[in-house]
Amino acid sequence: MIKVGVFGASGRVGRLLIEDLKQEKGMSLSTVYVRESLEFSIDPSVLVTNDMHVFLNACDIVIDFSLPEACQLLLEEALKSPKPIVVGTTGLDSHQMNLLKDASEIMPILYATNMSLGVALLSRLVNIAASTLEGFDIEIVEQHHRHKKDAPSGTALTLAYSAADGRGVDLDKVRVSGRNGNIGERSKDEIAVMALRGGDIVGRHTVGFYNDGEFIELNHTATSRNTFSKGALRAAKWLVEKPKGLYSIADCLEL
Ligand code: NAD
């Protein structure tokens, strides 16, 4: 039985992970990390702790859906007590990404800004489309619920990197994430990544390829957060046996 520790347990995805783990064969929830106290009841066999060291020692693998600064604390502690970690937290800055890379040199880490099979496939399709549809303007729009903190979404950025890779350009040099005022004509290489926020939208991403006379739009819509929690459990089962290294959801799904 694989013992799972959930980091970010009281969050929207964390709570679903706890529920989904009850039905999961071969895995069980052994511990949750909380900063203060847990606001909901949990099976008494689960260790609830605010001590990161105790948390890491009480599980075989950690699943993290928290916030960038919390994920950073987790990675810093994991460098002292290595453990396989599935990281689903988005919005990591360059320092936090470097920390994640450092940690993956001593433990297996799977980092995915989106745990869904559909988005993993979409990312592949975007890469192919970007290299095939030469000269088409690439524009990405993402929509999420009003509570989402980072923008553009990690998924939109992953899709943008995939498009930039297909096009052979450096995303950091061509990304546009806002247009306002007299900005002039669209440049040939730019890749726009725009964010909309509202209501309870779980996640919607559209990658458009626009040319004179025709356009293609590839769209993915998540209708339930269970897509992410179930995807993270699938990733955890896969990662727990792996050697140290940094893995993607595409590795896990063999895409
Ligand atoms: P949420 O705001 O509902 O939950 C955040 C959790 O982090 C809470 O449990 C909170 O208590 C915890 N937390 C915050 N600061 C902390 C700290 N300093 N120490 C410990 N815990 C702390 O968010 P959510 O909607 O559940 O999303 C969590 C993250 O996962 C976000 O970054 C979101 O963008 C990302 N996400 C990823 C995927 C994916 O498939 N990879 C899907 C959905 C959301």
pLDDT of residue 36: 87
Distance 90 CA to ligand 1 centre (A): 8
Q: Do 144 and 212 reside in the same domain of the chain?
A: yes
16 Cα to the center of ligand 1, angstroms: 12
* DSSP assignment of 24-47: -TTEEEEEEE-SS--SS---TTSE
Dihedral pair phi/psi, residue 178, rounded to 5°: -175, 140
Q: What is the CA radius of gyration of the chain?
A: 19
What's the CA gap between 159 and 124, in Å, rounded?
9
The tokens for 187 are 């440049």
Residues 81 and 132 both lie in one domain: no
Provide the domain count of the chain: 2
Protein residue closest via CA to atom 34 of ligand 1:
90
Question: Which position among 144, 220, 230, 237 bears the catalytic label?
Answer: 144
Q: Over its length of 255 residues, how does the chain's per-residue pLDDT go in tens digits?
A: 999 999 999 999 999 999 999 999 999 999 999 998 888 999 999 999 999 999 999 999 999 999 999 999 999 999 999 999 999 999 999 999 999 999 999 999 999 999 999 999 999 999 999 999 999 999 999 999 999 999 999 999 999 999 999 999 999 999 999 999 999 999 999 999 999 999 999 999 999 999 999 999 999 999 999 999 999 999 999 999 999 999 999 999 988
Helix-, strand-, coil-residue percentages of the chain, each rounded to 5: 35, 25, 40
Q: 238 and 174: one domain?
A: no
Quick one: 209 and 230 in the same domain?
no
In 3D, which of 176, 174, 206, 225 has the Cα closest to residue 65? 225
How far apart are alpha carbons 36 and 155 in whole angstroms? 30
Q: Which domain holds residue 62?
A: 2-111+225-253
Q: What is the CATH number of the domain that holds 198?
A: 3.30.360.10
Check whether residue 237 and residue 153 sit in a common domain. Answer: no
Exactly one of 3, 145, 148, 242 is catalytic; which is it?
Answer: 148
Same domain, 29 and 17: yes
Amino acid 255: pLDDT: 86
Q: Is there a single domain that holds both residue 99 and residue 78?
A: yes
User: Are 236 and 187 members of one domain?
Assistant: no
**How far is the C-alpha of 31 from the C-alpha of 21, rounded, in Å?**
12
Asked if 148 and 74 sit in the same domain, the reply is no
Residues 18, 51 share a domain: yes
- The reply to whether ligand 1 has any atom less than 6 angstroms from the CB of 12 is yes
For residue 88, the domain's CATH number is: 3.40.50.720
- What whole-number distance in Å separates Cα of residue 216 and Cα of residue 201? 23
Same domain, 103 and 122: no
- CA–CA separation, 151 and 197 (whole Å): 9
Name residue 239's amino acid: L
User: Looking at the structure, do residues 121 and 143 belong to the same domain, yes or no?
Assistant: yes
pLDDT of 77 reads 97
